[in-house]
């Protein structure tokens, strides 16, 4: 006997421990199915997937090409370990990624999620300096950024900088040189790039002999509130890391796979990192898979006689899973078949037009956009920049309004994120932005009127 909707709600609240969720006040939203860029809940209500099911869906849900690829792979084999073994589908995906990524990023270590890929990258960089041609075992530290998010493992929260997520775990974390968030607005639009690069250079000049790598989200810091970096900053970071002989780890888990208008965010500034990390959209948002893709120089440092023990002692049970690899290959095929990137400029422009209008709202302090990534920051007073108290959860209230009007989005505090599947239509973009505008009006008007 199938459970009733009410039973599912009760079980969800009692048995399922949800991420980043206060379970004492959790209000279930249970998705039963999906189609295209819409989610369908237990009651049959259709909701536009305004944040790509947490920034990972690319070509829409139940895409027939990806579905068929997974089914075909199931007819062969569902899982093959990559510990001393391999699979033809996974091999083809590795070759495809090597061909797609810039420079000589030719060596793919498959993982299950973004945090795992970053954890691998951190270890790769650390071990590299112990066994490269010119070993420098004193390079054991990292440079990270305030409010950066790279995952929730011990290594990734160490290089990350979201204190509200990490503060309780500080005794477990390793020390990191943490720089101010490279926000294009600080100290001003005109001086921000030079300002933040100078901070980085000062740090590298003083500490480069002990620094293994800089870990950065290229172009946009996601969980920080979709903070857009100054134009040219990423390229400057690459030049400084080369100057001071430090590796560059690019976390493209969120910004990769077409989100910025190019396949990889690093391509926007013609940057080739030493390690590129992918996740989320790699399988089109279908199945867990991520990758840490390393340069040939790093790869070579791990080659040697068995007795030298140079291999990376790290692995994941489902790393390189053939079902996930099949979904990833189909996802990459669709970029070509549907000319996904060629269709992005019109959608990017449509979002930009709506953001221009939203920017004039008395309770919008800033609007931000890079490609198909956008954000609207709510404030109590746009003149002074005074924020709403975080405890009042204005962003959450707007998202609840949106939910009641056919749109599913999730806030980052009082920042509303717009990050739909790349397959979203222009009409759906109009709906997303109109519902958000109406939601801001509704929530802030009710607050002004004294209605909670």
pLDDT (tens digit per residue) in 413-447: 999 999 999 999 999 999 999 999 999 999 998 66
pLDDT (tens digit per residue) in 379-407: 998 888 899 988 889 999 999 999 999 99
For the chain, domain boundaries: 5-59+339-448, 67-337
CATH number for the domain whose boundaries are 67-337: 3.40.640.10
Q: What is the DSSP string of 24-45?
A: GG-----EEEEEBTEEEETT--
Task: Report the distance separating Cα 248 and Cα 251, nearest Å.
Answer: 10
- pLDDT band, very low/low/confident/very high, at 452 (cuts 50, 70, 90): very low
pLDDT recorded at residue 165: 85
Q: What mean pLDDT comes out for the span 176-204?
A: 96
Per the listing, tokens 């599912």 go with 8
pLDDT recorded at residue 449: 53
Taking phi first (over 0 means left), then psi (-120 to 50 degrees means alpha), and beta for anything else, what does residue 173 get? beta
Instruction: Print burial letters for 22-55: b (CB count within 10 Å at least 16), e (below 16).
Output: eeeeeeeeeeeebebbbbebbeeeebbbbbbbeb
CATH ID of 5-59+339-448, from 3.40.50.720, 3.30.1330.200, 3.90.700.10, 3.90.1150.10: 3.90.1150.10
Is the confidence at residue 83, as pLDDT, over 50? Answer: yes
Task: Report the distance separating Cα 145 and Cα 172, nearest Å.
Answer: 18
Q: What mean pLDDT comes out for the span 281-290?
A: 98
Six-digit token string for 85: 């073994």
- Partners of 292 in beta bridges: 109, 277
Task: Report the distance separating Cα 369 and Cα 376, nearest Å.
Answer: 9
- Percent of the chain clearing pLDDT 90 (strictly above): 93
Q: What mean pLDDT comes out for the span 445-450?
A: 61
Q: What mean pLDDT comes out for the span 48-60?
A: 97
Torsion of CA 71, 74, 79, 80, to 10 degrees: -110
Is the confidence at residue 451, as pLDDT, over 60? Answer: no
Task: Report the distance separating Cα 147 and Cα 141, nearest Å.
Answer: 18
pLDDT (tens digit per residue) in 344-387: 999 999 999 999 999 999 999 999 999 999 999 999 988 888 99
pLDDT recorded at residue 447: 60
Q: What mean pLDDT comes out for the span 184-208?
A: 97
Q: What mean pLDDT comes out for the span 92-109?
A: 98
pLDDT recorded at residue 448: 52
Is the confidence at residue 224, as pLDDT, over 80? Answer: yes
Q: What mean pLDDT comes out for the span 285-292?
A: 98
* Chain-centroid distance, C-alpha 76: 31
> What average pLDDT is seen over the chain?
95
Task: Report the distance separating Cα 273 and Cα 264, nearest Å.
Answer: 11
SS3 311: coil
């Amino acid at each position: 006997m199938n459970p009733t909707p009410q039973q599912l709600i009760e079980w969800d609240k009692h048995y399922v421990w949800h991420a980043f969720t206060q379970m004492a006040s959790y209000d279930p939203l249970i998705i039963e199915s999906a189609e295209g860029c819409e989610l369908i809940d237990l009651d049959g209500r259709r909701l536009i997937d305004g944040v790509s099911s947490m920034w990972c869906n690319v070509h829409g849900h139940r895409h027939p090409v990806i579905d068929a690829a997974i089914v075909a792979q199931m007819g062969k084999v569902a899982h093959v370990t990559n510990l001393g073994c391999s699979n033809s589908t996974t091999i083809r995906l590795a070759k495809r990624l090597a061909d797609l990524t810039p420079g000589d990023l030719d060596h793919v270590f498959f993982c299950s999620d973004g945090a795992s890929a970053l954890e691998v990258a951190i270890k790769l960089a650390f071990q590299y300096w112990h066994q490269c041609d010119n070993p420098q075992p004193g390079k054991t530290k990292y440079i990270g950024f305030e409010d950066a998010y790279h995952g929730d493992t011990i290594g990734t929260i160490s290089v990350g900088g979201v204190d509200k997520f990490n503060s309780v775990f500080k005794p477990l974390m390793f020390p990191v040189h943490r720089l101010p968030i490279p926000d294009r607005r600080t100290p001003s639009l005109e001086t921000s790039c030079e300002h933040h690069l100078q901070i980085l250079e000062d740090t590298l000049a003083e500490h480069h002999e002990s620094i293994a790598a800089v870990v950065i989200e290229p172009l946009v810091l996601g969980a920080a509130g979709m903070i857009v970096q100054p134009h040219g900053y990423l390229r400057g970071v690459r030049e400084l890391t080369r100057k001071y002989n430090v590796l560059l780890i690019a976390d493209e888990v969120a910004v990769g796979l077409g989100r910025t208008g190019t396949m990889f965010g690093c391509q926007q500034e013609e940057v080739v990192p030493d390690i590129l990390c992918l996740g989320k959209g790699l399988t089109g948002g279908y199945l867990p898979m991520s990758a840490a893709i390393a340069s040939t120089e790093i790869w070579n440092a791990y080659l040697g006689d068995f007795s030298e023990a140079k291999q990376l002692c790290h692995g994941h049970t489902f790393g390189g899973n053939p079902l996930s690899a099949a979904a990833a290959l189909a996802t990459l095929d669709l970029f070509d078949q549907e000319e996904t990137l060629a269709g992005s400029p019109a959608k990017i422009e449509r979002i930009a037009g709506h953001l221009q209008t939203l920017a004039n709202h008395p309770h919008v302090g800033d609007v931000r956009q890079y490609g198909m990534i956008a954000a609207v920051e709510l404030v109590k007073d746009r003149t002074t920049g005074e924020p709403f108290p975080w405890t009042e959860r204005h962003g959450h209230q707007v998202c609840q309004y949106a939910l009641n009007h056919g749109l599913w989005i999730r806030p980052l505090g009082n920042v509303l994120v717009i990050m739909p599947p790349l397959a979203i239509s222009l009409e759906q973009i109009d709906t997303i932005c109109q519902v958000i505008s109406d939601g801001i009006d509704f929530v802030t008007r009710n607050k002004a009127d004294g209605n909670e």
